[in-house]
A and B are shown apart, each in its own frame.
Chain A
């Protein structure tokens, strides 16, 4: 795959993107919080050095908090179904950190497991993911544990990095990405040689929390469905669900019909396994009736069940759940309770 040098600056590159009539989504401060938002002009863009990561992940652009599945209208005594449309404009999601970019390769698996979710994949296909290597980290980051690094381009179509001369360049990861760059010839220039690695990335990698051995973690989980540790680990949990709502890989939803007199819609709304109503049966029985069972589900799903089925961890180490937890439940610390660190040279 090719690499491209950004000719002028990063903002001009974004300007180029906007001129191609893409819907550009990138980290932006809105109402005081940093989140992925629509970029209207290039001046709004933050360069990869200007942020660690956003509060919420990019999943809402592929799997929105609320998504109509089917619409229906009542006309007299008849009911008419109407299909739901998805935004027509092609999108570029720009500036994702490796932990977010990697989430797509994870989510893609689940959204086509047994049944292909057309809403998710239509959006996926229409969207080009441009990742950006991390130029800083914080205490919550633990992407190395999940096999990522500040400069991993997994899941991205294009990836922005700095070479050792502190110049940004684009790494084409997929053909889709390469095709996009080719349309931006005024802004980029193909590099003949593989650029030299910037030492910054290795330095950050070392600052990040030490890598946990997830293979050992899974072994422990395989054998400890029943363990009193679950009670202890979850005792302070308030079932607020912030962890799931902010997680780039959590993908549970609830299906609800909203019906007015003349019309209605069936919606998918985000849901979270930490809520006690999540598994409540209409009979009144709740198989996960305690916080311990629910928290176990969260950890098991992330580090065991998903791995059993897809050979992947349902976690990218982005650290959002750690930052957001109001009672400081730290999933890294939790996993460390039952798995050793990987020896590093």
Chain B
């Protein structure tokens, strides 16, 4: 069986792709480093292990955009492929522009010890879409969890408890917008927070303007977020951003029976409607 670095070497040697985006050994013991390999000599750097938590779909818009003539190869776990589906769906890339080196994944870890939270409700050990597949699936000993269990748990809290919880959490935000920068679906060149005419979201930090930003972020990702968890991982203040994203995913699933990242032909739920959408809340 081919290893990722062999595949990459071949792809680059045969001039089939302009670059291979993948993982290499990190500078810290529990981290891998993302690399963009452009020559076959460097291809041997590429590895895959349980520390490869990053979602490399981000590079498809951040580093390449439509300007690339030749496709780009990307190493992708099953969960990451969902983001690619989203990007195709939203016309940011075309399928032919990406060569997906799919990896069978048995769960990844952010710290080398604990399984990443997103892995507990993952059903995509094998990617749904790929051009070549590597790795072997192990028998998984992970106990499958309802992806929305923490949302449901949180919803049991009273209104005030919820409000206080978020006020405490959002107060920590320093508006570095790392959550946005690492999100594969936050591909806008100029984000709404950077727009000044008018400035819907004030750039200073305060509970209210932080809330405004986080409502915006969650809302803009409603029906689009695939749950890769990069935002939460990038947040150095540990704001539970995934909880908001998951809530949105749940609302969209419950009301419109839609899950993001599964169908690149589907209409995004908020750019769509059905006559029978509920309106019991409307007078």
Contacts and interface: CB of A to CB of B under 8 A. Distances in A.
> In the complex, are there CB atoms of A and B closer than 8 Å?
yes
Interface of A: 30-33, 35, 55-56, 60, 65-66, 139-140, 235-236, 238-242, 244-246, 254, 256, 258, 267, 269-270, 272, 275, 277, 322-324, 326-330, 332-333
B203 A254 contact: yes
Given A236-B34, A254-B203, A277-B194, 13 more contacts: A30-B172, A32-B238, A33-B172, A56-B174, A235-B36, A239-B181, A240-B234, A242-B234, A242-B236, A267-B204, A326-B234, A328-B31, A330-B27
With a 10 A CB-CB cut-off, give which of B27, B172, B206, B233 has the most chain A CB atoms: B27
B182 interface: yes
Interface size class of B (residues with CB under 8 A): 35 or more
Contacts of B234: 240, 242, 326
A298 to B, nearest CB: 14
B32 to A, nearest CB: 7
A328 B32 contact: yes
A195 B248 CA distance: 60
Contacts of B204: 65-66, 256, 258, 267, 269
A304 to B, nearest CB: 22
B54 A326 contact: yes
Nearest to A269: B203
Given A258-B202, A326-B234, A240 B182 contact: yes
A66 B236 contact: no
A82 to B, nearest CB: 17
B172 A31 contact: yes
A194 B190 CA distance: 59
A324 B236 contact: yes
B62 A238 contact: yes
Contact of B174 (A65, A139, A239): A65
Given A66-B204, A240-B234, A245 B174 contact: yes
With a 10 A CB-CB cut-off, give which of B29, B177, B230 has the most chain A CB atoms: B177
A216 B262 CA distance: 52
Contact of B27 (A236, A241, A244, A322): A322
B174 A236 contact: no
A255 to B, nearest CB: 10
A33 B230 contact: no
A210 to B, nearest CB: 13
7 shortest A-B CB distances, which residue pairs? A240-B178, A66-B204, A240-B181, A330-B27, A328-B33, A245-B176, A236-B34
A258 B172 CA distance: 21
B27 A326 contact: no
A242 B58 CA distance: 17
B175 interface: yes
A332 B177 contact: no
A207 B197 CA distance: 52
A241 B181 contact: yes
A270 B174 CA distance: 9
B26 A326 contact: no
A56 B27 contact: no
B35 A236 contact: yes
A327 B55 CA distance: 10
Interface string B197-222: 00100111110000000000000000
A256 B194 contact: no
Nearest to B36: A235
Contacts of B202: 258
A55 B34 CA distance: 23
B264 interface: no
Contacts of B174: 56, 60, 65, 245, 270
A326 B51 CA distance: 12
A235 B176 contact: no
Contact of B205 (A32, A65, A244, A277): A65
13 contacts: A31-B172, A55-B237, A56-B174, A56-B236, A139-B27, A238-B58, A240-B176, A241-B181, A270-B175, A326-B178, A328-B32, A332-B27, A333-B27
